[in-house]
Amino acid sequence: MDIMVGIIMGSKSDLPVMAEAAQALEELGVGYELTVVSAHRTPERMVDYAHSARNRGIKVIIAGAGGAAHLPGMVASMTSLPVIGVPIKSSNSIDGWDSILSILQMPGGIPVATVALNGAKNAGILAASMIGAFNEQIGRNMDAFKQNLKEKVIRSAEEIESKGWKNSLPK
């Protein structure tokens, strides 16, 4: 499977959140790589990663960061590839809002698609959707994924309607 998505994070402590992006990509049949790239502690590594991504076959970069959360925006400033930012509520975070706003409030010309706080699963799904717009197999995988979501909702509705809401509550 060709590697098409780069998943990077500012610290190994971000891995429990960012692993959800990797899991989503695996389920959707999208090849990825995953590593740690710190905007503040390894800026040269960040520059090298951003500059080499396209030549290595990467189509989308998912960048997760907590606290000041500079990684997604800095990477986006150095590549024309789409970057999806995942704000992470870290130990030094202010309820995650510092990370959200650091990723969301990018200057004109340097867009970063931003998902919810700790929303790495949606970042993986969004990356697969972007690739699926141009890759027929990934597009079919995304169609099946969306159909499965629809079927789950319909099954839930049928259960509640047939059993009643009181009998449908989790036990």
User: Which CATH number fits the domain that encloses residue 52?
Assistant: 3.40.50.1970
- Name residue 108's beta-bridge partners: none
Tell whether residue 129 is among the known ligand binding residues. Answer: no
Q: Is residue 156 part of a domain?
A: no
Q: Is residue 163 part of a domain?
A: no
CA–CA gap between residue 78 and residue 26 (Å, rounded):
27
Tell whether residue 13 is among the known ligand binding residues. Answer: no
Q: Is residue 159 part of a domain?
A: no
Share of the chain above pLDDT 70, in %: 100
Q: Is residue 131 part of a domain?
A: yes
CB distance 17 to 88 below 8 Å:
yes
Q: Is residue 61 part of a domain?
A: yes
Tell whether the model's pLDDT for residue 68 goes beyond 90: no
Q: Is residue 152 part of a domain?
A: no
Query: Distance of CA 46 to CAs 28, 49, 71, 169, Å?
Result: 27, 5, 8, 47
CB distance 85 to 63 below 8 Å:
yes
pLDDT on residue 94: 79
Q: Is residue 143 part of a domain?
A: no
Question: For residue 19, what are the domain limits?
Answer: 3-138
pLDDT on residue 3: 97
Q: What is the DSSP letter of 38?
A: -
Amino acid in position 69: A
- Residues 69-128: pLDDT tens digits? 999 999 999 999 999 999 999 887 778 999 999 999 999 999 999 999 999 999 999 999
How many distinct structural domains can be found in the chain?
1
Of how many residues is the chain composed?
Answer: 171
Tell whether residue 41 is among the known ligand binding residues. Answer: yes
